[in-house]
Amino acid sequence: MTKLSVNINKVATIRNARGGNNPDIVKFAIDCEAFGAEGITVHPRPDERHITYNDVFDLRPVIKTEFNIEGNPTPKFVELVLQAKPKQVTLVPDAPDAITSNMGWDTKANFEFLSDVIEKFQQKGIRTSIFVDPVAEMIEYAAKTGTDRIELYTEPYAAMYPKDPQQAVADFREASKLAHKLGLGVNAGHDLSLENLAFFHKEVPYLEEVSIGHALVCDALYLGIEETIKRYLDALK
């Protein structure tokens, strides 16, 4: 069964807008696990506008499922991950001023850099995943880096889904098949939602994990977090 990892960045955004510790992201992460989430994802950015580096260390000892840290592997980020030792690190090529992640890696152009970073993490027993577009050459070079998994960048799927679901998912289906053939695990994330997740899960084979934050937190404003997680898990059955 495909695992659901809840990205809690948006919860930290709400907290930071007011200051203090409300909502408490550590409690929120614990509650997500209690309600059935099979992982917690954070994406600390250099300006710490949502998840802070201190949050990572506060969360690390309390998470009982899988802790996934996403980010651009700058020296500071690499050091954070090596200290925190999460179950998984997802390498994302976002610029420091990016509002949100908006592209996958050019794994060919960044092959040596990614290979070196991945080796550092794997030496510490941290599973690695590279954020990529559903492009065969990018997946092939990702495999050559020695990474354990890729994470398919699904915003293009989400944008096209309302108009033509089959066309929207076609590249992702083939990308997952190729990744599996090359020995890679397959994750996916970005703009997956209750509207489009079940279809994506049905059509894309070998999917091990989805990481969902923005849509899930938005749904929770109406449904509550327990009911929201239940519905996302139902979409992955």
50 in active site: no
Domain ranges of the chain: 3-235
- The pLDDT assigned to 35 comes to 98
Q: How far, in Å, CA of 18 to CA of 31, rounded?
A: 22
190 in active site: yes
Residues in the chain where the model's pLDDT stays below 50: none
Task: Tell me which of 38, 43, 151, 201 is the catalytic residue.
Answer: 43
Other CB atoms within a 10 A radius of the CB of residue 192 amount to 26
- The pLDDT assigned to 97 comes to 61
Q: How far, in Å, CA of 36 to CA of 5, rounded?
A: 10
43 in active site: yes
- The pLDDT assigned to 96 comes to 62
CATH superfamily, domain 3-235, is: Aldolase class I (3.20.20.70)
- The pLDDT assigned to 101 comes to 60
Task: Tell me which of 38, 50, 190, 201 is the catalytic residue.
Answer: 190
Q: How far, in Å, CA of 234 to CA of 158, rounded?
A: 19
Helices 25-34 and 9-18: crossing angle, nearest 10°?
150
Task: Tell me which of 33, 66, 70, 151 is the catalytic residue.
Answer: 70
